[in-house]
Structure 1
Amino acid sequence: MRDILRWLRAYPSSLAGRLTLILVIGMPASTLFALHVSQTWKDNAFVQRQHESGMASAVDIARRYELAPERTDKWLDSHFILGAHKADATMAASGWDPALSRSLSDRLGYPAKVRKLQRPECFSTFVRYPPAAGMNTDPLPDCWLVRYVNAQGVERRFVVDLLPNPDRGQPPVGPPYLELIVIAGALLGLLTARIATAPLRRMERAARQFSLAGDLEPIPVKGPSEVRAALETFNLAQERVREGLRERTQILASVTHDLQTPLTRLRLRLEQVDDEALRERLVADLAATQQMVRDGLDLARSNEVREPWAVIDVNSVLSALAEDYAEVGREVTFVEQTRVEAWVKPNALGRALANLVDNALKYGGSAQLCCMIERGNLVIQVADRGPGLPDEEIENAFQPFRRLSTSTGTGTGIGLTIAQAQVATFGGVVTLRNAKDGGLVAEIRVPMRRLR
């Protein structure tokens, strides 16, 4: 539950969250805008069609008056003609529409006037009394009051009904429609964001793994052009970093090799010093210098990433390591086993374990090995019975050439640094913690994606 809440808090600030938010808001907004524009165009087109039908009806009634005025009067008064009827005397002869009046005058060939009327005026007989419970006046159309004077000077007044608007009183978007748009926008946003950010997530995972292991195959370059360009750049940067590490190791190896000859000559010349006490101190300083040079080269080589990957049986590796130390009289035991195979770099893991066991023997006199599965990760523990470390020094224990308060002897303080670098080459991490019953516990954690 906590992970879900953390994901929900972080999702809006991610690229996927922003794409989802844009689509969730943008889709309904753009749809409603499109519906509004479409409805406006539809209404305007219907009004134009209404005007054309009204003009056609008015011209038709005028022609009927020309041919049979008495019969037309009778039919209008009796509502025998669909779409036209007699004008009530109560209809006001004012408020004429200039544009409609000019249009009808042009079609009739003599002066005419048109006034727009609403349903209550058009159908006063129907709206005068309350309708039945299941009926209403919404389907009734609006109408025009038409008045003209023909060539003989006779005035005619009648009403023509307009086409009823089927969408009258209906909202452009029904109650479930907007909700469906929002839900569809959210689903489409999640899907689009997932598809659009998939290459970026691959690059993010590759960058994280490269920062730990430094040895990855190039990411497949596919996706949109911008993403392909970013992946190509990342692959190029990754290759340049690897090349830089290799060059650094080669340079340090060359320097170390070149230093061996003058250091050997210096050792021979120091042997000729007559003062025995001075000679011993100088030889000890020279030996420390040689050891520092070798340790520096080891530290540089600890990041070497060209070792091939392999599947190993962790139990076999730990039991073999314990047996090797036991053969030379060192107290190293393998106490807890878990049947698991790991996808690692075997030499890097072996060297890291050897450094951690050497530290345990140096400060605790013995080492205890065990392995287990915690939260899907392989955990290898190397525990000793030594004095442990102050909590404030644990974080600094992996810094190179840094000697801690419990250090003894003449070491250079890079054993833990090398172990950490070796484990990082296959994506693992090394941590230290003080045991509850005393001593220090070093843990190697290998992510579950490296397990089988």
Structure 2
Amino acid sequence: MKMRLRLADTIAWRIALTVGAAIMSVLALSVLFDHLAGPSTAERAELDRADDAIRMIEAAPPAFRQRLADTITIADKAIWYPSGTSIAGQFDVARLHELDPRMAERFRGTERGRESVIFTSTDPLAKEVAFDRISHPNAYYMAVQLDDKSWVLFIANHRRLGNLLPTRLATMLLSVTALILAASLLATYFLARPIRQFADELRRIGGDPRAKPVPETGPMELRSAIAAFNSLQGQLRKFVDDRTLMLAAMSHDLRTPLTKIRLRGEFIDDDEQRARLFRDVDDLQAMADSALSFFRDDYKDEGATVFDFAGLLRTIADDYCDQGATVSYVGPDRFAMSGRPFSLRRACMNLIDNAVKYGGTAEVELVCTQFEISVTISDHGPGIPVDALDKVFTPFFRIEQSRNRLTGGMGLGLTSALAVIRAHSGNIVLSNRKEGGLTVYITVPIIDKRQKAIE
């Protein structure tokens, strides 16, 4: 039986892989730069040739050494300095105090253990050399000591990769930074993708306890969070179902005594008292039916489909105008939206009806962007007290405190509208207009890519 090692897909493991990949990339790049920044193959060959030239100069009599150095082609210039000269003495001091230990270390080893000094045009030692530093500001120098304490100086006008340490470091740091950023962005994308998918699923659900469970995908920690969310959603679904059954039973049980009261009311001789009793019975029946309809969340039983949302708003406005109300619509002629058309129609009608009832008119404006749609419903009524702007969405809350259903309603219109809009992952915000009246601002994000303006 073969054993297969399977690593757990966790966020911690993904982060560890990301950091490990970044470190390995940095190390690989460091090795590459270390190889490129040091002497290249051609440079090492030239250094071998320089070692041979040094041996030839060392074997020649002192009178012929400079003439022999002039014939060397491995550098742009070669100079021999006898022992005891001023610059030879400075080389003796410089070899004990390396001007550029890092560069010297890179070149060392080819000179077969000879004492050497590596420096550049910016070092004070270069001022002692008879060389046109103005024409060749980037030249570099290598002085090698012979057995008789004399020195041979090789001068090169440039290096293939450049000899300035700041330039080399800047190039290396920029490359390492770019590599780490690229690896981090790529890894972060794969790390964040399942989280983004989870967020998209939550927006799709929109707080609907009857929605399908979220697929459990991604790292182990995220799958655990999704499983916990699905479990919570299941408990909420059971709670809503139990609540709906209880309210349905209460509504059904209330009908019998209300019917009995209506029948017994027929025996009341006082017509005025009988009419009041029947009106109270009708109010109780309407309250029971409205509460049952709201708590059942009938809008969530409707399936989502693609429909013309702009046409829906225009139809509502035309219907109110046919009834003599002043309702205007501003916006695109057509806009395809994925959602529950009948629920959205009922929610928009509740909001427009409130604007007409309390403000006399309703101005509806639809704005569609790439990411969301927004509907603004404005009126010219008295508005809503500031401290009640949020309370009006509470079930059975009414600013008009009378119990008359014709003036105050049941206090469920705005609550039901908000529930419908939030089921579409949107929101409703109320604000009073400076010139008087109320503005209802509805926003719904565009989740389905099929939603688009229709020309």
TM-score (norm 1): 0.59
Q: Is the 8 A contact 2:299 2:343 kept in 1?
A: no
Report SS of the residue matched to 1:134: strand
On the 8 A contact 1:336/1:369 being kept in 2, the answer is yes
Partners in 2 of 1:29 and 1:419 — Cα distance?
56
Please state if 1:336 is matched with 2:330.
yes
Asked whether 1:443 is paired with 2:441, we answer: yes
Q: Report what 1:23 is aligned to.
A: 19
Amino acid at match of 2:368: I
Code of the residue aligned with 2:415 in structure 1: it is: T
Shift in alpha-carbon separation, 1:256–1:387, aligned structure 2, 3 A: same
Q: Is the 8 A contact 2:399 2:408 kept in 1?
A: no
Asked if structure 2 preserves the Cα contact closer than 8 Å seen for 1:423 and 1:430, the reply is yes
Match of residue 417, structure 2, among 416, 419, 423: 419
Aligned to 2:384, what secondary structure does the other structure show? coil
8 Å contact from structure 2 (residues 25, 179) kept in 1: no
State the 1:331 CA deviation. Answer: 0.5
Distance, in Å, in 1 between the alignment partners of 2:387 and 2:220 is: 49
- Give the distance between the partners of 1:124 and 1:438, measured in 2 at CA: 97
Shift of 1:351: 0.9
How far residue 303 of structure 1 moved from its aligned partner, in angstroms, is: 6.5
Give the SS at the match of 2:307: strand
1:195-243 CA-partner distances (Å, limit 9, x unpaired): 0221112112322443455565544443344434443443444344344
Q: Single out whichever of 402-411 and 202-211 deviates more from structure 2.
A: 402-411
Question: Cα distance 1:268–1:347, how it changes in 2: closer, same or farther (>3 A)?
Answer: same
1:73 matched residue in structure 2 = none
Q: Partners of 2:178 and 2:19 in 1: how far apart?
A: 11
| Structure 2 unpaired stretches of 5+ | 1-10, 36-58, 60-112, 117-143, 157-164
Whole-angstrom CA distance in 2 between matches of 1:265 and 1:401: 26
Deviations 1:47-92 (A, max 9, x none): xxxxxxxxxxxxxxxxxxxxxxxxxxxxxxx9xxxxxxxxxxxxxx
Give the distance between the partners of 1:405 and 1:131, measured in 2 at CA: 105
The yes-or-no answer on 1:199 pairing with 2:194 is yes
- Give the alignment of 1:397-436 within 5 angstroms: 397-404=392-399, 409-436=407-434
2:384 maps to which of 389, 411, 414? 389
For 2:363 and 2:146, how far apart are their aligned partners in 1? 105
CA deviation after TM superposition for structure 1 residue 132, in Å: 1.0
Post-superposition offset of 1:25: 11
Structure 1 residues 127 and 380, CA gap change in structure 2 (3 angstroms): farther
2:437 maps to amino acid: G
Work out whether 1:131 is the aligned partner of 2:129.
no
User: Equivalents in 2 of 1:127, 1:389: separation in Å?
Assistant: 104
User: What is the aligned-residue RMSD (CA, Å)?
Assistant: 4.3
Which letter maps to 1:130? Answer: W
Deviation at 1:311, TM superposition (A): 1.5
SS at match of 1:370: strand
Please identify the structure whose Cα radius of gyration is greater.
Answer: 1
Taking structure 2 as the reference length, the TM-score comes to 0.59
Question: Which residue of 257, 264, 267 maps to 2:262?
Answer: 267
1:227 to 207, 222, 234: 222
Post-superposition Cα deviations, 1:247-299, rounded to whole Å, max 9, x if no partner, equal: 43333223212221122213333444566666555544444333322222132
Call closer, same or farther: CA 1:319–1:208 in 2, change over 3 Å.
closer
Per the alignment, residue 101 of structure 2 pairs with: none
Are positions 1:358 and 2:353 aligned together? Answer: yes
**% of aligned pairs identical?**
30
Q: Report the secondary structure of 2:301's partner residue.
A: coil
* 1:245-256 → structure 2 map (5 Å cutoff): 245-256=240-251
- In the aligned structure 2, how far is the partner of 1:371 from the partner of 1:431? 15
Letter of the aligned partner of 2:325 in structure 1? E
CA contact (8 A) 1:120 1:127 kept: no
Task: Find out whether 1:318 has 2:322 as its counterpart.
Answer: no
